[in-house]
Structure 1
Amino acid sequence: MCRWVAYRGRRRFLEDLITSPAHSLIDQSQCATEAKTATNGDGFGIAWYGERDEPGHYRDILPAWSDDNLRSLARQIGSGLFLAHVRASTAGRTTRDNCHPFVHGRWSFMHNGQLGDFERLERRLEARLDDALYGERKGSTDSELLFLLALEFGLEKNPKLALEAALGFVLREAIALGIRPLIRFTAALSDGRALYCVRYATDRHAPTLYSGAMCPLTGDGHCLVSEPFDEDAGRWSEIPSGSFVTVSDRGVAVEPFDPSGAVQAIAV
């Protein structure tokens, strides 16, 4: 399973989350404590928002701990909204196109989890994309395809409903193929304004997700992380499975997330 961190708030350097903390994202790439595999060395990536609508984007196939470029970039790049990811591959080869985050226009997206029997589902899922979005598919991961499906189902208009519809479509197609649906989906995404996160699974094993203020005393900035990067128990709260989180100028909101209700709507 992958590890990731997402941040929205006052502008700060990426190193404050990626390299500096005791259990930073780079540390988690070598010794994650809440994942099936301790090592997440199949590439990494960052997406950050600055003066332009589209995010800056950097990915590579090297393990995060061995890339000096990442440390240098994290030390120099400041942003009030960014996503960072270290990958442990479950589907797709170790190529740059398969490294998270993925971007499309002003949107960025990263994922930790898996689709069961993805090899059997992939063709049917890809067929749901219109030609333009299908042409955007560069890699071979289930994560990138889920992102494109969310765009297909209206991510630009309503992120929560689009993600519910995308996963509901996956559920429907799995059932149609006689596959017992297995979705484990903890994801972060942004349009450069708000930060959205989801924790969901069809079983009891949703990948972990924690929420915490960057500075608990002042509420300065908010982090969503796969696992905490320090031992300050007062800072972190676990997000329940079946949740959709929005971090915006209005604060942090948590809503129920249930793709099963979208299955029938998609079929109509």
Structure 2
Amino acid sequence: MCRWFAYISPSEPCLLSDVLITPANSISKQCSEHYLPGLLPHSQEKDLDDSPDALLKLRNSLLNMDGLGIAWYTTAQNSYIKHVQGPRPALYKSQSPPINDFNFRSLCDNTETNCVFAHIRATSGSVVTQVNSHPFVFGRHVFMHNGVISNFSSIRRNMTDLMSFDSYCNIFGSTDSEHAAALYITNLAGKDGKDGTKESWNKTYPLADMLAAMRQTIISILELQTQALSPENRRPNSLNFCTTDGEKLVAVRFRNHATQAPPSLYWSEFAGRTLNGKFPGNPDGKDLVNEETFYGEEERIGKHTIVASEPTTFDEKEWHLIGGNCALTVDEHGVETQVAIEYEKALNAVDPEHGG
């Protein structure tokens, strides 16, 4: 499966290299190495490929070498383009591994932002090409995915029928993930009349609407599979989705199986301090910062949230594993809330290759 990383803050910018390159377990290193606290003991992460837990291995240990993408928010357009207010995403995609991409490193060394999405891809069958790399941008909205929509070829045509015309036309690649992104923006911005056009993508929507659109996207995928396939031919989906408008965020850890866990997904309200080069801390496990170090400094360290497939610091106390079939929401003030994704259990699928 892929790996992704998201940082968002109402007030505290991060330097991209601090969060995406410098840490020993930064996303640029997760092409081949993994750290999964709460799922695998810290000392065993290098033995993941030999783990007896076949499902843990299957959904977390693939080499992620099939594309790189980052989207970061900037307010540069506000001063030059009329009617543009608020942050807008800039996008960089590459087929090169991040550790060897000079342009990626130079960009990260010289860019700060209050919101960034980063993604490294392990293809589930789609062509390795730049347009298939995540994240995907729809106006001021950005979307990325770790996992797979099972039986995608069986529902792809019907999935596009649920999209607005502009959302469908904004699909440039062939991935299941980009189709999910187009369905999400349709559910968020509407598909009829003016509310389905590109202009509606530059609006912000209430966090509750973002969460509802995300849930509807998941439910629609499951319902299409139920309609197109017999129960014995349907397979579970891994849908670790994340979306933002630059000010608010919704992340989901989801798999429609009665017992199997989704791919890993963590969040932290503290790790940004450790990662930020302006403040004390070491993300790589040496001289971990005691909370007392920050006594009296809280006003200078802005509220922030990180959501990531794997922790990027080695202090497990800084991270929380998101519950299975749950969403984490972050509002414009940086307040985090975890909620369950409610769905009919009849939409669960079987996995006969891994125990039913």
TM-score, L = length of structure 2: 0.70
Which SS does the other structure have where 2:128 is aligned?
coil
Matched, 1:207 2:266: no
CA distance in 2, matches of 1:235, 1:168: 32
Which SS does the other structure have where 1:147 is aligned?
helix
Which SS does the other structure have where 1:59 is aligned?
strand
1:193 corresponds to which residue? Answer: 247
1:143 to 177, 183, 187: 177
1:4 corresponds to which residue? Answer: 4
CA distance in 1, matches of 2:334, 2:17: 26
2:32 corresponds to which residue? Answer: 30
Q: Is the 8 A contact 2:60 2:264 kept in 1?
A: no
Q: CA deviation at 1:205?
A: 2.9
Q: Is the 8 A contact 1:2 1:85 kept in 2?
A: yes
1:223 corresponds to which residue? Answer: 306
Higher mean C-alpha deviation, range 10-19 or range 251-260: 251-260
Q: CA deviation at 1:106?
A: 0.2
Q: Is the 8 A contact 1:87 1:100 kept in 2?
A: yes
2:341 corresponds to which residue? Answer: 257
Which SS does the other structure have where 1:16 is aligned?
helix
- Counterpart code for 2:273: C
Higher helix share: 2
- Counterpart code for 2:6: A
Q: CA deviation at 1:181?
A: 4.8
Q: CA deviation at 1:187?
A: 1.8
Q: Is the 8 A contact 1:44 1:61 kept in 2?
A: yes
User: For residues 93 and 16 of structure 1, do their structure 2 counterparts lie closer, same or farther at Cα, with a shift above 3 Å needed?
Assistant: same
- Per-residue CA shift, 1:82-124, capped at 9, x if unaligned? 1101111114111111100000000011110111111111111
CA distance in 1, matches of 2:35, 2:336: 26
2:42 corresponds to which residue? Answer: none
CA distance in 2, matches of 1:260, 1:83: 31
- Per-residue CA shift, 1:196-221, capped at 9, x if unaligned? 21111102131111111223744742
TM-score, L = length of structure 1: 0.92
Q: CA deviation at 1:32?
A: 2.9
CA distance in 2, matches of 1:94, 1:174: 26
- Per-residue CA shift, 1:62-91, capped at 9, x if unaligned? 122221111111111100111101111114
- Per-residue CA shift, 1:115-156, capped at 9, x if unaligned? 111111111111221222111111111111111111111254
Q: Is the 8 A contact 1:115 1:184 kept in 2?
A: yes
CA distance in 1, matches of 2:157, 2:89: 29
Matches within 5 A, 1:87-236: 87-154=121-188, 156=205, 158-179=209-230, 180-203=234-257, 204-212=260-268, 213=270, 214-215=272-273, 217=291, 218=298, 220=302, 221-236=304-319
Q: Which runs of 5+ in 1 are unaligned?
A: 264-268
Matched, 1:13 2:15: yes
- Counterpart code for 2:322: I
Give % identity. Answer: 28
Bigger radius of gyration: 2
CA distance in 2, matches of 1:189, 1:260: 23
Q: CA deviation at 1:54?
A: 2.1
- Counterpart code for 1:256: A
- Counterpart code for 2:100: S
Q: Is the 8 A contact 1:175 1:181 kept in 2?
A: no
Moved over 6 A (4+): none
Which SS does the other structure have where 1:234 is aligned?
helix
- Counterpart code for 2:266: Y
Q: Is the 8 A contact 1:2 1:40 kept in 2?
A: yes
Higher mean C-alpha deviation, range 28-37 or range 163-172: 28-37
Q: Which runs of 5+ in 2 are unaligned?
A: 37-58, 78-86, 190-204, 275-290, 292-297, 348-356
Higher strand share: 1
Which SS does the other structure have where 2:69 is aligned?
strand
